[in-house]
Amino acid sequence: PAGGLPAGSGAWGRRVPAAGHLQEVMLTSERYGVRRLPFSRVSDGDVAFFEQIMPGRVITNAEELKPFNVDWLKSVRGCSKLMLKPQTTAEVSEVLRYCYERNLAVNPQGGNTGLVGGSVPVFDEIILSTVLMNRITSFDKVSGILVCQAGCVLEKLNEYLEEQGFIMPLDLGAKGSCHIGGNVATNAGGLRLLRYGSLRGTVLGLEVVLADGSALDCLASLRKDNTGYDLKQLFIGSEGTLGVITAVSILCPQKPKSVNLAFLGCQSFAKVLETFATCRAMLGEILSAYEFMDEKCMELVERHLKLTSPVTDSPFYVLIETSGSNSTHDEEKLNNFLEQAMNSGLVTDGTVATDEKKIKMLWSLRERITEALTHDGYVYKYDISLPVGKLYDLVTDTRARLGPSAKSVVGYGHLGDGNLHLNVTAESYNHFLLDAIEPFVYEWTARYNGSISAEHGVGFKKKQFIQYSKPKEAVHLMQRFKAMLDPKGILNPYKMLPSSS
Protein backbone atom coordinates (compact mmCIF):
# COMPACT_ATOMS: atom_id res chain seq x y z
CA PRO A 1 0.00 0.00 0.00
CA ALA A 2 0.96 3.60 -0.50
CA GLY A 3 3.12 5.28 2.07
CA GLY A 4 4.79 1.98 2.97
CA LEU A 5 2.25 1.51 5.75
CA PRO A 6 -0.08 -1.43 6.28
CA ALA A 7 -3.58 -1.01 4.91
CA GLY A 8 -5.78 0.72 7.45
CA SER A 9 -2.82 2.26 9.22
CA GLY A 10 -3.02 5.40 11.27
CA ALA A 11 -5.33 5.80 14.24
CA TRP A 12 -8.04 7.02 11.91
CA GLY A 13 -5.91 8.13 8.99
CA ARG A 14 -7.20 7.64 5.48
CA ARG A 15 -7.39 3.90 4.86
CA VAL A 16 -5.08 2.97 2.03
CA PRO A 17 -6.44 0.10 -0.08
CA ALA A 18 -4.50 -3.14 -0.32
CA ALA A 19 -3.32 -4.14 -3.79
CA GLY A 20 -6.42 -6.16 -4.74
CA HIS A 21 -9.00 -5.00 -7.32
CA LEU A 22 -6.54 -2.69 -9.08
CA GLN A 23 -6.89 -4.34 -12.46
CA GLU A 24 -10.34 -2.82 -13.13
CA VAL A 25 -8.97 0.72 -13.22
CA MET A 26 -8.81 1.89 -16.82
CA LEU A 27 -5.47 3.28 -17.99
CA THR A 28 -5.41 7.07 -17.70
CA SER A 29 -4.00 7.38 -21.23
CA GLU A 30 -6.98 5.42 -22.61
CA ARG A 31 -9.74 6.99 -20.50
CA TYR A 32 -8.55 10.53 -21.21
CA GLY A 33 -6.99 10.02 -24.66
CA VAL A 34 -3.51 11.28 -23.73
CA ARG A 35 -0.57 11.03 -26.13
CA ARG A 36 2.81 9.99 -24.75
CA LEU A 37 5.51 12.64 -25.08
CA PRO A 38 8.79 11.60 -26.78
CA PHE A 39 10.68 10.51 -23.65
CA SER A 40 13.10 7.59 -23.75
CA ARG A 41 11.95 4.19 -22.51
CA VAL A 42 13.63 2.43 -19.60
CA SER A 43 16.25 -0.11 -20.76
CA ASP A 44 18.03 -2.95 -18.97
CA GLY A 45 21.10 -0.71 -18.89
CA ASP A 46 19.15 1.96 -16.99
CA VAL A 47 17.96 -0.58 -14.42
CA ALA A 48 21.53 -1.84 -14.00
CA PHE A 49 22.76 1.74 -13.39
CA PHE A 50 20.13 2.35 -10.71
CA GLU A 51 20.89 -1.03 -9.06
CA GLN A 52 24.48 0.10 -8.80
CA ILE A 53 23.67 3.33 -6.92
CA MET A 54 20.93 1.88 -4.71
CA PRO A 55 21.18 -1.90 -4.52
CA GLY A 56 17.98 -3.66 -3.38
CA ARG A 57 15.91 -0.48 -3.66
CA VAL A 58 15.01 -0.78 -7.34
CA ILE A 59 11.57 -2.32 -7.94
CA THR A 60 10.76 -3.88 -11.32
CA ASN A 61 8.30 -6.61 -10.27
CA ALA A 62 4.93 -5.84 -11.95
CA GLU A 63 2.87 -7.17 -9.01
CA GLU A 64 4.82 -5.06 -6.52
CA LEU A 65 4.41 -1.95 -8.69
CA LYS A 66 0.63 -2.26 -9.04
CA PRO A 67 -0.48 -0.20 -6.01
CA PHE A 68 1.96 2.59 -6.91
CA ASN A 69 0.58 2.91 -10.43
CA VAL A 70 -2.99 3.55 -9.19
CA ASP A 71 -4.26 6.50 -7.18
CA TRP A 72 -6.06 6.17 -3.84
CA LEU A 73 -9.43 6.87 -5.44
CA LYS A 74 -8.82 4.12 -8.03
CA SER A 75 -9.62 6.62 -10.78
CA VAL A 76 -6.33 6.90 -12.69
CA ARG A 77 -3.69 4.30 -13.57
CA GLY A 78 -0.27 4.44 -15.16
CA CYS A 79 2.02 1.62 -16.28
CA SER A 80 5.42 2.38 -14.76
CA LYS A 81 7.80 -0.57 -14.89
CA LEU A 82 10.30 0.86 -12.45
CA MET A 83 10.25 2.32 -8.95
CA LEU A 84 13.30 3.74 -7.17
CA LYS A 85 13.57 4.22 -3.39
CA PRO A 86 16.40 6.64 -2.60
CA GLN A 87 17.39 7.31 1.02
CA THR A 88 19.41 10.50 0.59
CA THR A 89 19.36 13.76 -1.34
CA ALA A 90 22.61 12.69 -3.01
CA GLU A 91 20.88 9.59 -4.42
CA VAL A 92 17.92 11.67 -5.70
CA SER A 93 20.50 13.95 -7.31
CA GLU A 94 22.25 11.05 -9.06
CA VAL A 95 18.95 9.62 -10.28
CA LEU A 96 17.73 12.92 -11.74
CA ARG A 97 21.10 13.77 -13.31
CA TYR A 98 21.01 10.39 -15.10
CA CYS A 99 17.33 10.67 -16.10
CA TYR A 100 17.91 14.20 -17.42
CA GLU A 101 20.79 13.03 -19.63
CA ARG A 102 18.82 10.00 -20.83
CA ASN A 103 15.56 11.98 -21.27
CA LEU A 104 13.65 9.61 -18.94
CA ALA A 105 10.46 10.99 -17.36
CA VAL A 106 10.12 10.82 -13.57
CA ASN A 107 7.03 10.75 -11.33
CA PRO A 108 7.88 11.81 -7.75
CA GLN A 109 5.63 10.01 -5.26
CA GLY A 110 5.06 10.37 -1.52
CA GLY A 111 2.26 8.54 0.28
CA ASN A 112 0.09 8.47 -2.88
CA THR A 113 -2.97 9.88 -1.11
CA GLY A 114 -3.56 12.70 -3.64
CA LEU A 115 -7.03 13.23 -5.06
CA VAL A 116 -6.32 14.83 -8.47
CA GLY A 117 -4.22 12.16 -10.17
CA GLY A 118 -0.95 14.02 -9.58
CA SER A 119 0.92 11.28 -7.71
CA VAL A 120 0.80 8.38 -10.19
CA PRO A 121 2.32 7.99 -13.66
CA VAL A 122 0.23 8.61 -16.76
CA PHE A 123 2.42 6.32 -18.92
CA ASP A 124 5.69 4.59 -17.97
CA GLU A 125 7.37 7.36 -15.98
CA ILE A 126 9.89 6.13 -13.39
CA ILE A 127 8.32 6.32 -9.92
CA LEU A 128 10.70 8.09 -7.55
CA SER A 129 9.38 7.21 -4.09
CA THR A 130 10.34 9.11 -0.93
CA VAL A 131 9.15 6.23 1.29
CA LEU A 132 12.65 5.54 2.69
CA MET A 133 13.52 9.22 3.17
CA ASN A 134 11.95 9.24 6.61
CA ARG A 135 14.59 10.61 8.97
CA ILE A 136 14.05 13.48 11.38
CA THR A 137 17.15 15.68 11.27
CA SER A 138 16.52 18.02 14.18
CA PHE A 139 13.94 19.66 16.39
CA ASP A 140 14.53 22.85 18.37
CA LYS A 141 12.28 22.96 21.45
CA VAL A 142 12.81 26.67 21.96
CA SER A 143 11.85 27.85 18.46
CA GLY A 144 9.57 24.90 17.60
CA ILE A 145 11.40 24.36 14.27
CA LEU A 146 11.49 20.82 12.88
CA VAL A 147 13.83 19.74 10.08
CA CYS A 148 13.14 16.38 8.46
CA GLN A 149 13.34 14.40 5.23
CA ALA A 150 10.45 14.58 2.76
CA GLY A 151 9.29 10.98 3.27
CA CYS A 152 8.32 11.35 6.94
CA VAL A 153 4.68 10.35 7.45
CA LEU A 154 2.60 13.23 8.84
CA GLU A 155 1.11 11.21 11.70
CA LYS A 156 4.56 9.90 12.76
CA LEU A 157 5.88 13.49 12.86
CA ASN A 158 2.91 14.55 14.95
CA GLU A 159 3.49 11.67 17.42
CA TYR A 160 7.19 12.58 17.68
CA LEU A 161 6.33 16.24 18.35
CA GLU A 162 3.56 15.46 20.86
CA GLU A 163 6.11 13.72 23.09
CA GLN A 164 7.91 17.08 23.26
CA GLY A 165 4.81 19.19 23.78
CA PHE A 166 4.35 20.34 20.16
CA ILE A 167 2.17 19.43 17.14
CA MET A 168 2.40 19.74 13.36
CA PRO A 169 0.73 22.89 11.99
CA LEU A 170 -1.36 20.78 9.60
CA ASP A 171 -3.69 17.82 10.01
CA LEU A 172 -5.44 15.83 7.27
CA GLY A 173 -7.64 12.75 6.99
CA ALA A 174 -4.73 11.06 5.15
CA LYS A 175 -2.29 11.64 8.05
CA GLY A 176 -1.56 7.93 8.52
CA SER A 177 -0.10 7.61 5.00
CA CYS A 178 0.75 11.02 3.50
CA HIS A 179 4.34 12.30 3.50
CA ILE A 180 5.34 15.82 4.55
CA GLY A 181 7.14 16.30 1.20
CA GLY A 182 3.92 15.51 -0.66
CA ASN A 183 1.98 17.82 1.67
CA VAL A 184 4.35 20.66 0.83
CA ALA A 185 4.50 19.84 -2.90
CA THR A 186 0.68 20.06 -3.05
CA ASN A 187 0.40 22.87 -0.47
CA ALA A 188 -2.08 20.69 1.43
CA GLY A 189 -4.61 22.57 3.58
CA GLY A 190 -6.52 20.38 5.98
CA LEU A 191 -8.21 20.76 9.34
CA ARG A 192 -5.90 23.13 11.22
CA LEU A 193 -5.48 25.83 8.56
CA LEU A 194 -8.02 28.13 10.22
CA ARG A 195 -5.77 28.32 13.28
CA TYR A 196 -2.21 27.91 12.01
CA GLY A 197 -2.39 29.20 8.44
CA SER A 198 -1.15 27.52 5.27
CA LEU A 199 2.15 25.78 4.56
CA ARG A 200 3.21 28.91 2.67
CA GLY A 201 3.58 30.50 6.09
CA THR A 202 4.74 27.60 8.27
CA VAL A 203 7.38 26.12 5.91
CA LEU A 204 10.61 28.02 6.62
CA GLY A 205 12.93 26.22 4.24
CA LEU A 206 13.24 23.43 1.68
CA GLU A 207 15.88 21.28 0.10
CA VAL A 208 14.96 20.52 -3.52
CA VAL A 209 16.64 18.57 -6.32
CA LEU A 210 16.11 20.15 -9.73
CA ALA A 211 15.46 18.30 -13.00
CA ASP A 212 19.14 18.24 -14.01
CA GLY A 213 20.16 16.73 -10.66
CA SER A 214 21.49 19.90 -9.03
CA ALA A 215 20.53 20.22 -5.37
CA LEU A 216 19.17 23.52 -4.08
CA ASP A 217 19.72 23.92 -0.35
CA CYS A 218 17.30 26.54 0.95
CA LEU A 219 16.76 24.66 4.20
CA ALA A 220 16.78 27.78 6.40
CA SER A 221 15.48 27.58 9.95
CA LEU A 222 14.79 31.28 10.29
CA ARG A 223 11.48 33.00 10.93
CA LYS A 224 12.78 36.06 9.08
CA ASP A 225 14.97 36.14 5.98
CA ASN A 226 14.57 38.95 3.46
CA THR A 227 17.51 38.22 1.16
CA GLY A 228 16.35 38.02 -2.44
CA TYR A 229 13.42 36.12 -3.94
CA ASP A 230 11.70 33.61 -1.67
CA LEU A 231 12.54 30.57 -3.80
CA LYS A 232 10.87 27.98 -1.55
CA GLN A 233 7.47 29.44 -2.50
CA LEU A 234 8.05 28.29 -6.09
CA PHE A 235 8.21 24.68 -4.96
CA ILE A 236 5.41 24.77 -2.38
CA GLY A 237 2.35 23.73 -4.38
CA SER A 238 4.34 22.94 -7.55
CA GLU A 239 3.27 19.27 -7.40
CA GLY A 240 6.66 17.83 -8.30
CA THR A 241 6.79 19.62 -11.67
CA LEU A 242 9.68 22.01 -10.88
CA GLY A 243 11.83 19.93 -8.54
CA VAL A 244 11.76 17.06 -6.06
CA ILE A 245 11.47 18.18 -2.42
CA THR A 246 13.90 16.11 -0.32
CA ALA A 247 13.80 17.91 3.06
CA VAL A 248 11.62 20.39 4.89
CA SER A 249 12.09 22.90 7.70
CA ILE A 250 8.76 23.75 9.33
CA LEU A 251 7.54 25.84 12.25
CA CYS A 252 5.46 23.82 14.73
CA PRO A 253 3.03 25.23 17.29
CA GLN A 254 2.91 24.12 20.91
CA LYS A 255 0.47 21.35 21.72
CA PRO A 256 -2.67 22.93 23.19
CA LYS A 257 -3.22 21.98 26.84
CA SER A 258 -6.97 21.93 26.48
CA VAL A 259 -9.00 20.81 23.47
CA ASN A 260 -12.80 20.87 23.27
CA LEU A 261 -15.08 19.77 20.49
CA ALA A 262 -18.71 20.71 19.85
CA PHE A 263 -20.74 18.79 17.30
CA LEU A 264 -23.94 20.66 16.44
CA GLY A 265 -27.03 20.37 14.27
CA CYS A 266 -28.27 23.35 12.21
CA GLN A 267 -31.58 23.61 10.34
CA SER A 268 -30.29 25.56 7.31
CA PHE A 269 -27.06 26.68 5.67
CA ALA A 270 -27.89 30.27 6.60
CA LYS A 271 -27.82 29.12 10.24
CA VAL A 272 -24.44 27.42 9.64
CA LEU A 273 -23.07 30.78 8.45
CA GLU A 274 -24.60 32.71 11.32
CA THR A 275 -23.25 30.16 13.81
CA PHE A 276 -19.77 30.68 12.32
CA ALA A 277 -19.97 34.47 12.69
CA THR A 278 -21.17 34.12 16.30
CA CYS A 279 -18.57 31.55 17.19
CA ARG A 280 -15.69 33.54 15.69
CA ALA A 281 -16.78 36.59 17.67
CA MET A 282 -17.28 34.70 20.95
CA LEU A 283 -14.45 32.16 20.83
CA GLY A 284 -11.80 34.42 19.31
CA GLU A 285 -8.26 33.12 19.64
CA ILE A 286 -9.19 29.62 20.86
CA LEU A 287 -11.20 28.66 17.74
CA SER A 288 -9.11 26.09 15.85
CA ALA A 289 -11.54 24.41 13.42
CA TYR A 290 -14.97 25.04 11.97
CA GLU A 291 -16.13 22.23 9.70
CA PHE A 292 -19.53 21.59 8.17
CA MET A 293 -21.23 18.66 6.45
CA ASP A 294 -24.70 18.06 5.04
CA GLU A 295 -27.06 15.28 6.14
CA LYS A 296 -26.20 13.22 3.03
CA CYS A 297 -22.57 12.97 4.25
CA MET A 298 -23.74 11.77 7.63
CA GLU A 299 -25.99 9.19 5.98
CA LEU A 300 -23.02 7.78 3.96
CA VAL A 301 -20.68 7.67 6.97
CA GLU A 302 -23.33 5.80 8.98
CA ARG A 303 -24.30 3.43 6.16
CA HIS A 304 -20.85 2.52 4.80
CA LEU A 305 -18.62 2.83 7.87
CA LYS A 306 -21.18 1.96 10.56
CA LEU A 307 -20.29 5.07 12.59
CA THR A 308 -23.04 6.62 14.69
CA SER A 309 -23.63 10.29 15.24
CA PRO A 310 -24.82 11.49 18.66
CA VAL A 311 -26.67 14.32 16.88
CA THR A 312 -29.38 13.40 14.38
CA ASP A 313 -32.20 14.75 12.20
CA SER A 314 -30.52 17.96 11.05
CA PRO A 315 -30.01 19.06 7.43
CA PHE A 316 -26.52 20.36 8.40
CA TYR A 317 -23.90 19.50 10.99
CA VAL A 318 -21.09 21.65 12.31
CA LEU A 319 -17.94 20.57 14.11
CA ILE A 320 -16.24 23.27 16.17
CA GLU A 321 -12.87 22.74 17.83
CA THR A 322 -11.26 25.01 20.40
CA SER A 323 -7.70 24.68 21.59
CA GLY A 324 -5.98 26.76 24.22
CA SER A 325 -3.81 26.72 27.30
CA ASN A 326 -6.40 27.01 30.05
CA SER A 327 -9.26 24.51 30.20
CA THR A 328 -11.41 26.49 32.65
CA HIS A 329 -11.18 29.61 30.47
CA ASP A 330 -11.83 27.68 27.24
CA GLU A 331 -14.79 25.72 28.60
CA GLU A 332 -16.37 28.88 29.95
CA LYS A 333 -16.05 30.59 26.55
CA LEU A 334 -17.43 27.55 24.72
CA ASN A 335 -20.36 27.19 27.12
CA ASN A 336 -21.27 30.86 26.73
CA PHE A 337 -21.19 30.47 22.97
CA LEU A 338 -23.31 27.30 23.04
CA GLU A 339 -25.86 28.91 25.32
CA GLN A 340 -26.12 31.87 22.95
CA ALA A 341 -26.37 29.59 19.86
CA MET A 342 -29.09 27.42 21.43
CA ASN A 343 -31.11 30.33 22.84
CA SER A 344 -31.09 32.25 19.58
CA GLY A 345 -32.18 29.16 17.61
CA LEU A 346 -29.00 28.92 15.51
CA VAL A 347 -28.43 25.39 16.72
CA THR A 348 -31.13 22.83 17.49
CA ASP A 349 -29.09 19.98 18.95
CA GLY A 350 -25.52 19.28 19.95
CA THR A 351 -22.94 17.47 22.01
CA VAL A 352 -19.60 18.48 23.53
CA ALA A 353 -16.46 16.38 24.01
CA THR A 354 -13.46 17.08 26.22
CA ASP A 355 -11.95 13.59 26.60
CA GLU A 356 -9.67 12.31 23.84
CA LYS A 357 -11.72 9.21 23.03
CA LYS A 358 -14.93 11.13 22.35
CA ILE A 359 -13.03 13.87 20.49
CA LYS A 360 -11.55 11.26 18.13
CA MET A 361 -14.95 9.64 17.63
CA LEU A 362 -16.55 12.98 16.67
CA TRP A 363 -13.66 13.95 14.38
CA SER A 364 -13.96 10.62 12.56
CA LEU A 365 -17.52 11.55 11.49
CA ARG A 366 -15.98 14.42 9.52
CA GLU A 367 -12.58 12.96 8.59
CA ARG A 368 -13.87 9.69 7.17
CA ILE A 369 -16.41 11.18 4.74
CA THR A 370 -13.89 10.75 1.89
CA GLU A 371 -13.59 7.06 2.75
CA ALA A 372 -17.38 6.60 3.00
CA LEU A 373 -17.79 8.15 -0.46
CA THR A 374 -15.43 5.60 -2.04
CA HIS A 375 -17.76 2.84 -0.76
CA ASP A 376 -20.69 4.55 -2.48
CA GLY A 377 -19.38 4.08 -6.03
CA TYR A 378 -17.22 6.03 -8.46
CA VAL A 379 -16.51 9.50 -7.02
CA TYR A 380 -16.24 12.77 -8.93
CA LYS A 381 -14.43 15.11 -6.51
CA TYR A 382 -14.40 18.91 -6.53
CA ASP A 383 -12.42 21.00 -4.08
CA ILE A 384 -13.59 24.58 -4.44
CA SER A 385 -12.90 27.94 -2.80
CA LEU A 386 -15.84 30.35 -2.83
CA PRO A 387 -17.10 33.40 -0.95
CA VAL A 388 -18.47 31.73 2.17
CA GLY A 389 -22.07 32.88 1.62
CA LYS A 390 -22.17 31.10 -1.77
CA LEU A 391 -20.56 27.87 -0.59
CA TYR A 392 -23.61 25.62 -0.47
CA ASP A 393 -25.46 27.12 -3.47
CA LEU A 394 -23.10 25.18 -5.73
CA VAL A 395 -24.19 21.90 -4.11
CA THR A 396 -27.86 22.77 -4.50
CA ASP A 397 -27.42 23.79 -8.15
CA THR A 398 -25.35 20.69 -9.00
CA ARG A 399 -27.93 18.43 -7.33
CA ALA A 400 -30.72 20.06 -9.34
CA ARG A 401 -28.72 19.83 -12.58
CA LEU A 402 -27.80 16.15 -12.26
CA GLY A 403 -31.09 14.86 -10.82
CA PRO A 404 -31.35 11.06 -10.75
CA SER A 405 -28.29 10.55 -13.01
CA ALA A 406 -26.10 10.91 -9.90
CA LYS A 407 -26.34 8.50 -6.98
CA SER A 408 -25.34 11.07 -4.32
CA VAL A 409 -24.39 14.75 -4.42
CA VAL A 410 -22.88 15.86 -1.12
CA GLY A 411 -21.24 18.96 0.30
CA TYR A 412 -18.89 19.33 3.25
CA GLY A 413 -15.67 21.13 4.06
CA HIS A 414 -13.66 23.75 5.86
CA LEU A 415 -16.23 26.50 6.20
CA GLY A 416 -13.82 28.68 8.16
CA ASP A 417 -11.54 28.78 5.08
CA GLY A 418 -14.32 29.12 2.48
CA ASN A 419 -13.44 25.66 1.16
CA LEU A 420 -16.16 23.35 -0.15
CA HIS A 421 -15.71 19.67 -0.98
CA LEU A 422 -18.42 18.87 -3.52
CA ASN A 423 -18.64 15.16 -4.31
CA VAL A 424 -20.82 13.32 -6.79
CA THR A 425 -21.07 9.53 -6.79
CA ALA A 426 -22.33 7.12 -9.46
CA GLU A 427 -22.44 3.31 -9.73
CA SER A 428 -19.42 3.47 -12.08
CA TYR A 429 -17.44 5.93 -14.19
CA ASN A 430 -19.71 7.55 -16.77
CA HIS A 431 -18.49 9.96 -19.42
CA PHE A 432 -21.91 11.56 -19.91
CA LEU A 433 -22.17 12.33 -16.21
CA LEU A 434 -18.67 13.83 -16.27
CA ASP A 435 -19.72 16.08 -19.18
CA ALA A 436 -22.75 17.22 -17.18
CA ILE A 437 -20.54 18.17 -14.20
CA GLU A 438 -17.54 19.65 -16.02
CA PRO A 439 -17.12 22.44 -16.99
CA PHE A 440 -20.43 23.42 -15.27
CA VAL A 441 -18.87 23.32 -11.78
CA TYR A 442 -15.82 25.32 -12.93
CA GLU A 443 -17.89 27.92 -14.80
CA TRP A 444 -20.12 28.34 -11.73
CA THR A 445 -17.04 28.77 -9.53
CA ALA A 446 -15.42 31.28 -11.91
CA ARG A 447 -18.63 33.34 -11.99
CA TYR A 448 -18.20 34.02 -8.24
CA ASN A 449 -14.40 34.49 -8.49
CA GLY A 450 -13.71 31.24 -6.68
CA SER A 451 -10.87 28.75 -7.17
CA ILE A 452 -11.30 25.38 -8.89
CA SER A 453 -8.79 23.90 -6.47
CA ALA A 454 -8.73 25.12 -2.88
CA GLU A 455 -6.28 22.58 -1.44
CA HIS A 456 -6.08 19.36 -3.50
CA GLY A 457 -3.97 20.87 -6.28
CA VAL A 458 -4.36 20.64 -10.05
CA GLY A 459 -2.63 17.33 -10.79
CA PHE A 460 -3.69 15.52 -13.93
CA LYS A 461 -7.44 15.90 -13.59
CA LYS A 462 -7.76 19.69 -13.46
CA LYS A 463 -4.88 20.95 -15.60
CA GLN A 464 -7.07 21.77 -18.61
CA PHE A 465 -9.33 23.87 -16.36
CA ILE A 466 -6.71 26.09 -14.72
CA GLN A 467 -7.87 29.06 -16.85
CA TYR A 468 -11.09 29.20 -14.80
CA SER A 469 -8.98 30.40 -11.86
CA LYS A 470 -5.92 32.01 -13.45
CA PRO A 471 -5.60 34.56 -16.28
CA LYS A 472 -3.73 33.35 -19.38
CA GLU A 473 -0.81 35.69 -18.60
CA ALA A 474 -0.35 33.89 -15.27
CA VAL A 475 -0.47 30.45 -16.95
CA HIS A 476 2.11 31.60 -19.55
CA LEU A 477 4.41 32.78 -16.78
CA MET A 478 4.04 29.40 -15.04
CA GLN A 479 4.94 27.68 -18.30
CA ARG A 480 8.05 29.86 -18.54
CA PHE A 481 9.13 28.87 -15.01
CA LYS A 482 8.62 25.23 -15.95
CA ALA A 483 10.66 25.60 -19.16
CA MET A 484 13.47 27.34 -17.28
CA LEU A 485 13.74 24.85 -14.38
CA ASP A 486 12.91 21.70 -16.37
CA PRO A 487 13.73 22.38 -20.05
CA LYS A 488 13.19 18.74 -21.07
CA GLY A 489 9.93 18.48 -19.13
CA ILE A 490 10.92 15.22 -17.40
CA LEU A 491 9.45 16.06 -13.96
CA ASN A 492 5.90 14.82 -13.41
CA PRO A 493 4.85 15.37 -17.04
CA TYR A 494 1.15 15.66 -18.11
CA LYS A 495 0.34 17.35 -14.77
CA MET A 496 -0.54 20.79 -13.44
CA LEU A 497 -0.12 22.96 -16.54
CA PRO A 498 -2.37 22.69 -19.62
CA SER A 499 -0.75 20.95 -22.58
CA SER A 500 0.76 23.73 -24.69
CA SER A 501 -0.90 23.83 -28.07
Which residues in the chain are classed under CATH 3.30.70.2740?
377-469
What is the predicted pLDDT for the residue at 19? 41
CATH 3.30.465.10 fits 136-251, yes or no: yes
Q: In the CATH hierarchy, which fold is given to the domain comprising 258-369?
A: Alpha-Beta Plaits (3.30.70)
Partnered with residue 106 across adjacent β-strands are 126, 491
Phi, psi dihedrals of residue 187, rounded to the nearest 5°: 50, 50
Q: What is the DSSP string of 59-125?
A: E--HHHHHHHHB-TTS--B-----EE---SHHHHHHHHHHHHHHT--EEEESS---SSS-SS-SSSP
- pLDDT beneath 50, residues of the chain: 1-23, 501
3 state SS for 277-302: HHHHHHHHHHEEEEEEEEHHHHHHHH
Question: Where does CATH 3.30.465.10 sit in the chain?
Answer: 136-251
What pLDDT score was predicted for residue 31? 92
Dihedral angle over CA of 370, 373, 378, 381, nearest 10: -40
CATH number of 377-469: 3.30.70.2740
Is residue 122 within 8 Å of 78, Cβ to Cβ? yes
pLDDT at 500: 67
pLDDT of residue 9: 32
Residues of the chain with CATH 3.30.70.2190: 258-369
* pLDDT on residue 11: 32
